[in-house]
Amino acid sequence: MKKRMRMLKTSGIGIICMAAALTIAGCGGKVKPYTPPTPTVGGGVTPPSDNGSLKPTVLQFTVEPSVIERGQSATLRWSVNNATTISIDNGIGDVQSSGTRRITPAETTTYRLSASGPQGVVNGTTTVTVTNPAPVTTPTPTNKSTLDQEVNTLLQDAYFDYDSNQIRSDARDALAKDADSLKKIFADFPTASVIVEGHCDERGSAEYNLGLADQRASATKEYLVSLGVPAAKLKTVSYGKERPQCTEATEACYQKNRRAHFTAAQ
Amino acid sequence: MIKRIALLLLVLSGTASGQAITADIFKGGNTPNMAVIDFRSSSGGGYMSTFNSTLFADLQDSGLFKMVPKSFYPLQVPQRPEDFKPASGQGLAMADWAGSPVNANYLAYGYTAVQNGQLVLYGWLYDVAQQNAQAAQVIGSRYFGTPDDAGARKVAHEFANDIIAKFGGGTLAGSKIYFVSDRTGAKEIWVMDYDGSNQRQLTFYKSIAIQPSVSPDGTKLAFVSYDKGTPRIVMLDTVTGRPLQFYNQQASVNETPSFSPDGKELYYASTAAGKEAQIYASNLNGTNFRRIGVAKAIQVEPKVNPKNGSQIAFAQGPKNEQLFLMNTEGANVERLTNGEGEAASPSWHSDGQHMLFAWTRGYATGNWNVFLMDVTTREYDQLTSSAGRNENPNWAPDGRHLAFKSNRTGKWQIWTMLANGNQLNRLTNSGNNESPVWSK
């Protein structure tokens, strides 16, 4: 009943006639059967979505983006006409006639959409390409970084008095330990060498301090060599007062800067 | 003599800065006696005292003259050439100024007037030893300004500059200062005009570039760079900005380069001998090096005397760095400073007699000030005080101004001033700046 009514929508007279026919019939007396007017084709009539006279069509079946790295996701998007059953493979299953679905395939996958209706079946495919991600540069423990670690954690600074390059008793203790640590470091890293840096506090003149810090580095190296550390593996650099490790105008900071310090050679 | 000793005592007691030594450096040999009258205005105006004090100070500060005290002046003063009479006795004859008690060689005189709303200065400079006005006139000019203090200063400066120029006291215009700045995040060599304008970066090592030194003719710049790991000397062509070849000795430290007065050799400090830094000299490309200093001590900052070319000033320690002299053969070593505090940064005046340097004498370790010493008498003046730390002094080409670094404003900046402390100017204000060297 409803269908017919819809077809005759534009024909208001038809409806009235129908209604009139029904009511007149209810009142008794015969009525000629009314022939509904021929429906105009394409007259703005919206075809019903499940009109059996139209075959199912895949209006859209895409994936965005179409190329992803493994671990990334993409979005399937589809729109299908005139089908009663729509399904997508690869684990997606039955779906509505249009929609989207987020997917995270592990490798390149071709998705197949199947749409069936009374008038037939139609398929669609779309492919998402999955590439291997760029190799993550996890710093595999290279020899260099472990050398840095050993140098920075094992080797203590040696401290000096003002305007002096003499190895004090506390420096002797530190350097004795450093000598052992250096032997271990050079055993672990046979091709490595270590830099002995000389530094000064900020109070003397810069030019003189370059010379004094050089003496501190040399004296430190000499002392280590006297304890059995191979001289060829120790290089010296003087930084004068150019690279302070603190800048407060206090005796504590001054002492921190009057030092020999160790770094791994590049 | 008594005045000199009295001043010396004041200096030693640390209470007076003393003018005696500083005044000495301005005697190039010929400092004529200059008399300057108090100019008056024919149109009134309260700015004449500004005019007169500006004129007198400019002439005095130039260091080119011995200013005759005004208390010696005659009662009457000329204001125009027609005021002069052949014989006056009262001040209107040239002989009144040339003779006792004034004993002037030159007289600056004139007057001002307001004409058409402008301040006009009529200024003359006379050589009062001459017989007549025509022969005596060195300068006779008009100068213009606004009829107020600013205009009075302007015309006074211009008149003074004309007088100074007549006596060879050039301006600093055109001269350049090379220096070190860390404003880019690393110490690099920079250059700027004498007044701080046009500051531009010369090196781009992004390492440590320090200790610039410029050749006497200004064409070469030597400095120290860590770009290859340890401090080495680099030689730069200042015209092209490109490095020139310099052979560094195999050493852990090569530093403090400076040029000989004839510009043919480079002096520097090196640890090439295996132990402490010692003084060396070489060709400008580093070849033909020879060791000069032989001491069990750290020697740095060799500076050759520009007057005799055969004497070297340098810094040496321990104990407590001091300044020393020796000849270019390494002999005749003597200590210049008196053993107190720490002394560094020697800078010879072109007269080969006076020296700027940095010293901590009188203050706690690390508290440096700029001093000026007469090397022949060992007397000295303190040129900075109670204004942060002041180091790295170097003379300007005119031998009257100097550049130095000071942290009186917080960070280290380059300052310039006259040796008597006047005309104090700050040139930099970005990052930390040090080691200024002044080139013509």
Task: State percent of chain B over pLDDT 90.
Answer: 78
Please check whether residue B145 is in contact with residue B114, taking contact to mean a CB–CB distance below 8 angstroms.
Answer: no
pLDDT tens profile B288-345? 999 999 999 999 999 999 999 999 999 999 989 999 999 999 999 999 999 999 999 9
How many beta carbons lie within 10 A of that of residue B219, not counting itself?
15
Instruction: Convert the pLDDT of each residue in B30-49 to its tens digit.
Output: 689 999 999 999 988 899 99
Encode pLDDT of B199-250 as tens digits: 999 999 999 999 999 999 999 999 999 999 999 999 999 999 999 999 999 9
For residue A65, is the peptide bond before it cis, meaning its omega torsion is within 30 degrees of 0?
Answer: yes
Q: Which of residues 144-183 of A touch B (CB under 8 A)?
A: 162-164
From chain B, the residues in CB contact with A238 under 8 A are 230-231, 252-253
Band of the pLDDT at A144, cuts 50, 70, 90?
Answer: low
pLDDT-derived band at B400 (thresholds 50, 70, 90) equals: confident
Predicted complex ipTM? 0.76
Comparing C-alpha atoms, which of B250, B244, B254, B312 is closest to residue B284? B244
For residues A47 and B251, the model is more confident at: B251
Chain A closest-CA separation from residue B102 CA (Å): 48
Residue partners of B376: CB distance under 8 A and separation at least 6: B353
* Cα–Cα distance for residue pair A210/A197, rounded to 1 Å: 11
Closest by CA position to A241, among listed A209, A214, A215, A217: A209
Could you report the per-residue pLDDT of B76-124, keeping only the tens digit for each?
999 999 999 888 888 999 999 999 999 999 999 999 999 999 999 999 9
pLDDT value at residue A139:
58
Closest to B55 (Cα-Cα) out of B180, B139, B164: B164
- Tokens standing for A154? 């094992």
Terminal C-alpha separation, chain B: 36
- pLDDT greater than 70 at residue B391: yes
Between chains, do B300 and A238 touch, taking CB under 8 Å as contact?
Answer: no
The larger pLDDT score, comparing residue A32 to residue A148, is at A148
Q: Give the rounded distance of the alpha carbon of A46 from its chain centre.
A: 48
pLDDT at A221: 98
Q: Could A207 and B211 be called an inter-chain contact, meaning their C-beta atoms sit closer than 8 Å?
A: yes
Q: Distance between alpha carbon B108 and the CA centroid of its chain, in Å?
A: 26
CA distance B7 to A214: 42
Q: Which two tokens stand for residue A252?
A: 């504590």
What is the per-residue pLDDT for A16? Answer: 45
Among B277, B299, B365, select the one facing A214 at the smallest CB separation. B277
Helix extents (H) in A27-168: 143-154
Question: Is the predicted pLDDT of residue A37 greater than 60, yes or no?
Answer: no
Token representation of residue A219: 């004296």
Say if CB B317 and CB B334 are below 8 A apart: no
Q: What is the DSSP string of B37-56?
A: ----BTT--TTHHHHHHHHH
pLDDT tens sequence across A161-174: 999 999 999 999 99
Q: Which residues from B are below 8 Å from A when comparing CB atoms? A: 187, 208, 210-211, 226, 229-231, 252-253, 255-256, 269, 271, 275-277, 298-301, 315, 317-321, 342, 344-345, 358, 365-366, 368, 391, 434
> In the prediction, which pLDDT does A40 show?
44
The minimum CA-CA distance between A182 and chain B, rounded to whole Å, is: 22
Tell if the CB–CB gap between A238 and B366 is shorter than 8 Å: no
Average pLDDT, chain B: 91
pTM higher than 0.80 for the full model?
no
The predicted pLDDT at position B86 comes to: 85
Q: Which amino acid is at B230?
A: T
- Which contacts of A84-88 are long-range, i.e. CB under 8 A and separated by 24 or more positions? A84/A50, A84/A116, A84/A117, A84/A118, A85/A114, A85/A115, A85/A116, A85/A117, A86/A113, A86/A114, A86/A115, A86/A116, A87/A113, A87/A114, A88/A112, A88/A113, A88/A114
pLDDT of A193 strictly over 70: yes
In angstroms, what separates the C-alpha of B302 from chain A's closest C-alpha?
A: 11
Tell me the mean pLDDT in the region B336-363.
96
b/e map of A90-102 (b: 16 or more CB within 10 Å)? eeeeebebeeeee
Mutation for A interface: B182, B223, B227, B252, most A CBs within 10 A = B252
